[in-house]
Structure 1
Amino acid sequence: MAYYRKCIETVIEQLDKFKAEKCSAGQFLELASAALQTLSPQKRAFILEVLSGCLEYRRLLAVVVDAFYARAGCLCPHADYSLFEVICYLATFQLEELGFQLFCDIVRSQPVDKMRKFLGFFFNPINLCSWIKDEWSLIYEIAHVRENWIDPLMRWQPEVQELIDQLEEVLAHQPTPSKTKAKVTEPKEFKLTVPRPRAIPVPEPIPSVAKSKPVPRSTYLQPKEQQLLEVTKRHNRWKAEELLLRANIEELRCAVPRSRGEPLTQGSQKQKQLRLMPRILRTPKLTFYKTSNVPVKLNTAAILREGSLYQRQVEKELERVDKLVDGAGDFSEFLEWQRKVQAEDRAEQLAAGECRRLQGKLSHEEAILARRHLAQGNKQKADQKKEETAELMQQCAERRLQEEMSLKEQVQQVVEVQRNVKAAQMKLLRGRQQIVQEVMEESRELLQRSAEAAKEEQRRRCELIAQLRALETQPVRKGKLVDLTQTPGYGLEGEMSVVELRERLALRKESQRREEEEKRDQIIQGKRARSQGLQNVVERISLCRAAMGRSAALRWEEKKAGCAPPAPPQDERVLELRRQVEEKAAERRGQAALLPAPAPRAARPRPRAQLEAQHWLELERSRERRLRTLQRRGSAGGHARRLEAA
């Protein structure tokens, strides 16, 4: 083991000296060969072969070693980087030639814990078949990587795993180093000189502070803008209270009746209204702001779109007026018929809504009955299922006993087969050891031949490099005189000198600048024309909006005057559905009375049937309240119209 340890240490020492930026691999090998002349030829050939292989496949080895330091070897020192490179090279490229026994001797000659960690990481089948294969395939071809490196490593993986187990046993039996007690530091006293007494210092003069300016009075006064805001708020509040008072007076005027014999004087009316008027609660934090009458700013597209809309409406109105002038009929009869049809449609919609509500309630009652029938059927099916489950459990127990008997017989057969396998493995191991010894002798001869061939190739490369460097050192004349006024004379159309080309480019830029200015003037004129057109369109839009607002107000007044509360729907379908719902409810209550009383249980949430019944009850109550509200509004509207007419 000492022999292999010295060889590996020599290779590691040479790898640590190699710097790729200073010299090439060939020159470094020549220097290393010259430095190893004192060693024996066999040892020197082995070291040079391993060193040249590590330099040639440095990129492949760096992939594995860098990943090892990043994942599993965080605690390993970086000084062992070259050691892991050498072990990785021997396992990947020289394991077949060296033989497994020689490889084991080399591994055992190194630190046990480091070798166990690295071999366990490198020969992990998951790492070999996943990211190591992918990273090596980026450098060499995939087929070459799989056939020459990955597959051999996977074949040697069982033997290497046995070696890792042996290393773990050795590491477990090693005695732990005894901890020596650290030497305690003994403190010593300092040899300090006695300080001299300090002289009393002369007091420094107190500096005079400049007189500060007084704080201006404006600091404690409220700003003018804040005062204006407060005045505006008070004015707005007073105005809002006055408007609210007037609104309350108007409401009480309609609500308070007067006796027949009482004269309605202005003074008595005001006194009575003030006496009956409720007290207004004032809130000190109420703030009112002035509403701004600034119109909404529209963009060009919105203005044009609205202008075209009003233009179409005006054209349609003019066409309608022309038709009326020519003798066309009025639409009053059609509108009256349309109102009647709409009233009938509303009544039909109310009846249809009531029908849907009653149908939902009917379906709810039917669902409750169906759910009870389904619960009874499910109970019968559950009893039948329990009987079938008991039979199946008995059959499963019998089948499990039969399977246990068959498993015992299979275990006895496997034990006999394992005994035969161990004998075959011992015989195979003896044959492999004999083959390894023969291969080692052949590998030594091949190493010597390859070292001589590499030396000859390196000498030839050095001669070629010296010749190339001699050619590079020859002086070369650089530089060329250029005349910008001379025409090249290539025989092309429009050929000119550089000076003429520059003059023509300047003229072309000047013409482009004049064209841009003309286009800019045209664009400005077009913008002004469009802005004037937009102003005209905005004026027309404001006029049309005012007219449309007045017409909408008139239509709203007519609609308020003609609205009436809808009558409750009375239809044959509704009456029939109500009758069916009552019958189903009676049937459900009869079935509930016949069912036996359930056993008392713990408190649980309300069932879904009760929640649905409560939902339908609340829905029906809300519909009744809404109908009463509409009737009250209609009666109040009629009373208000009568008061206005009076």
Structure 2
Amino acid sequence: MAYYGKCIETVIEQLNKFKPEKDIPEQFLEAASTSLQTLSPQKQAFILEVLSGCLEYRKLLAVVVDAFYVRAGWLCRRADYNLFEVICYLATFQLDELGFQLFSDIIRSQPLDKMCKFLGFLFNPLSLCSWIKDEWSLIYETAHVSENWIDPLMRWQPEVQELIKQLEKVMTNQSPLPKTKAKVTEPKEFNLTVPRPRAIPVPEPVPVMTKPKPIPRSTYHPPKEQEQLEMTRRYNRWKAEELLLKVNIEEMRCAVPRSRGTTLVQGSEKKLQLRFMPRILKTPKLTFYKPNNVPVKLNTAAILREGSLYQRQVEKELQRVDKLVDGAGDFSEFLEWQKKMQAKDQEEALAAGECRRLQGKLSREEAILARQLLRQGNKQKADQKKEEEVIEESRELLQRTAEAAKEEQKRRCELIAQHRALETQPMRKGKLVDLTQIPGYGLEGEMSVVELRERLALLKETQQHKEEEKRDQIIQAKRARSQGLQNMVEQISLCRAAMGRSAALRWEQKKAQSAAPGPPSQDHRVLELRRRIEESAAERRKQAASGPISAPRAPRPKPRLLRTPRATSVLSLRNLYGGACASAWRSGRDAGATRK
């Protein structure tokens, strides 16, 4: 029995060395045969045959052994996994060749309690005919499994059950090993230094809250300084708008007759001065600087896009000249019809724009009236609830302060108790670390901290060298590309100068045509909207004259130019001169489109 026991141990050692993720079974068997040259030929042949069979039918054996650990062998060690695989292989594939007597000797050479459990689990008729057969049928054909493996195991069922009974009798007749008396550990007292008690101050009691002072009357009334600041802000804003208006008028004199624009500007200035002149602090005048004609720096995409645009224009002009040389017709009649239709569309667009502007003005008047009514109701409600809110907030604040003080005192007491408990515990000394020592966890490529730092330094140096080479390549490519872009910019500047001269000539012609103002619009929609605006404005003035309304204290909204009353005159002047400037801008745009 010792002979077979050593053979089984050798097979288990070789299976422990096998790693399915890395090793190939054929190469592993060749390496195992070379390591077993010192054994006898009979012993070597038995070991290699069992080892090759376990590797070949590893999936079938794993099904039985895994189920054994889950159902019956939960107390067995995991290190005996390969032992159960070998026994399962011998019982399933080699029992007929070995004979029952030799199989019994192999079983008796192993631990008897483990063999009894595994043989009882493997040769259970219910397991063989149910789940073992089903699991093996998923890997091989059902007929092959039943004929070659399940039926032979069922035939050896009586002999195996008799062997299990004999092993159980041997286990019961074995005398238990004598128990050795363990030495009793004698406890010794620790020689500890008694710590000196530390005087920790007792937390002070929670102070009693004094009675709060009554709420001052200034809480419900805005201060005078705020009104003065508001007046100063409004005056400064008016001065800024006045200067902005002057600058805009100077820029638009080229499109509007001088007499009419001067009269409107003087009237608007007088109205604004009369409204904001009394009780206002003056501020220094604002200075506006006109922008210089600084050349715009183009990026790569803009240069390439403009260069391709001029190239397409040149090709289109050459094609047009070729068509004229070949005898193409003139489009003068079509251009005249196109101008008439464009003029008609422009009149309709102006009427529609005037309608939209008047609709916006009407909605603004209606919104102002609605806000005035809403402010009256909100002010009354706010005055009623303001006193109730202040009283409730003061009561809640006192309650929260008292609770916070109690919690703080409780937390201090807990910290003092924890501090005293930590003082009674012994302190542990730190462990010295050797950075040149390898930890020895059994991992691949394991190294010390010093070696790791050296390798990281070499890797960093190599990476830095690669980055420098790549940076040099990028700089050379940028230089070549910038030279090409510079050449293209020079070509674009020449094209712009030529087209600018042609556009200036066309703009002078459009300027003469657009100098005369058009007749006022007589569209029925415009007249109807103007009438509604006058009615809404009259109703708003009537509502405002009934009584002054003071807005409630609320976060000041961001000022907007179009929502202030004084901005109405500025808006009207901008609308007055906007049409002329828009026409001048459209003429320039049409000239650019014609060039394209």
Both structures adopt the same fold (TM-score exceeding 0.5): no
Instruction: Specify the structure having the higher radius of gyration (Cα).
Output: 1
User: Normalization by structure 1: what TM-score?
Assistant: 0.31
User: Normalization by structure 2: what TM-score?
Assistant: 0.33
